[in-house]
Amino acid sequence: MMRNGAILSPNLQKEIRILHCSVCDEKCFGEDALDEHRLFSHCKVPRSDACAVCQAPLRTAEDFEKHTRMHTADLYMHCAVCR
């Protein structure tokens, strides 16, 4: 099996499930990839330029991810609408 151009070992193939988006039938490798696909492809909630907790300015998705880790023990913030 190939993933991002790399051939996966048989042991790793068993761990990764191929999931399909219920909106567009896009194939995603695992829950995290499916969540990310749904968020960036189908979520229609406007994105903010500031942190909802402290109003710090956020310019990119990477800024958002890094900054929100300061406010939560979770590794990832999840969309309040999608989750």
10-residue stretch averages of pLDDT, the chain, 83 residues long: 55 72 90 83 71 79 76 58 49
- Identify the pLDDT of residue 42: 81
Judge whether 32 and 47 are in contact, CB under 8 Å: no
SS3 16: coil
Amino acid residing at 3: R
Give residue 67's Cα distance to chain centre. Answer: 16
Residue 49's nearest CA partner among 63, 66, 70 is 63
pTM of the model: 0.42
- Euclidean distance between CA atoms 40 and 61, whole angstroms: 10
* Residue the block writes with tokens 């068993």: 14
Q: Where are the domains positioned within the chain?
A: 1-42, 46-83
